[in-house]
Amino acid sequence: MCRWRSVLNYLAGPVYGDGSLYYYRRNNEYFIHVYDQDQEFLQRVGVEVSKALKVRYTIIKPSKNANYYRLQFTSKKIYSYVAKLVKEKPQRLTKNFIRGIIDAEGTVYADKKGRVAFELGIANQRLAIKISNWLEKRGIRATCTLHKDRRPHRRTIAKVRVRGWENVDKMFKLVKPMHPKLVVKFENLKMKHSRARPATPP
């Protein structure tokens, strides 16, 4: 796959997961937005898209009290392509789209017993099942469960989970997420896990 297609497949992931597409008819302007608390991550996404597609981007904090940043592109071409991918890719998955979804909605953690797990929570249950099956086909054990939120106006969330150090490590090497909340966190967890393991006797 050529570079610009790969980048747009990836961009469709965070736009689908935690972004927006907006057309301002009055001025005939097209906006592609990705939201995240990590400015460094948005900067990296912006640079990747800018290099591949020769477009400019901006990153702003919407308000003084906001705890997140917004990455913005104003390109009709990117808007049209990403809008198409957001509809198509949940039906026909690609690794780059999954990578984008994981960066936007994924988390990695270790429980009190030191067991590690990756978790992806999304509202689209069919997409969650597809991602789980996609991982399984590549030798990565994954489960998909539904979780009802009893609070008013809340949707049922589907969670894809990958458990175990070897299993999660295999997933990271395959998908190659780039969000620091995943990459840095997992590396730190691995270091702690390595130090906590008893030494092998000579």
Report the share of the chain in percent with pLDDT over 70.
93
Local structure of 175: helix, strand or coil = helix
Distance, in Å, from the CA atom of 183 to the CA atom of 169, rounded to the nearest integer, reads: 11
Query: Which pLDDT score, from 0 to 100, does residue 197 have?
Result: 64
60 and 107 part of one domain: no
SS3 track for 50-113? HHHHCCCCEEECCCCCCCCEEEEECCHHHHHHHHHHHHHCCCCCCHHHHHHHHHHHEEEEECCC
34 and 82 part of one domain: yes
81 and 105 part of one domain: no
107 and 65 part of one domain: no
Number of domains in the chain: 2
Residue finishing a domain among 88, 122, 155:
88
51 in a domain, yes or no? yes
Q: What is the CATH number of the domain that holds 126?
A: 3.10.28.10
53 and 116 part of one domain: no
173 in a domain, yes or no? yes
202 in a domain, yes or no? no
pLDDT reading at 49 higher than 80: yes
Residue 152 lies in domain: 95-196
201 in a domain, yes or no? no
Residue 36 Cα distances to 33, 54, 69, 145, angstroms: 10, 23, 6, 25
Residue finishing a domain among 29, 54, 88:
88
pLDDT in tens, 100-156: 999 999 999 998 888 899 999 999 999 999 999 999 999 999 999 998 766 666 678
Residue finishing a domain among 40, 69, 88:
88
Query: Which pLDDT score, from 0 to 100, does residue 1 have?
Result: 42
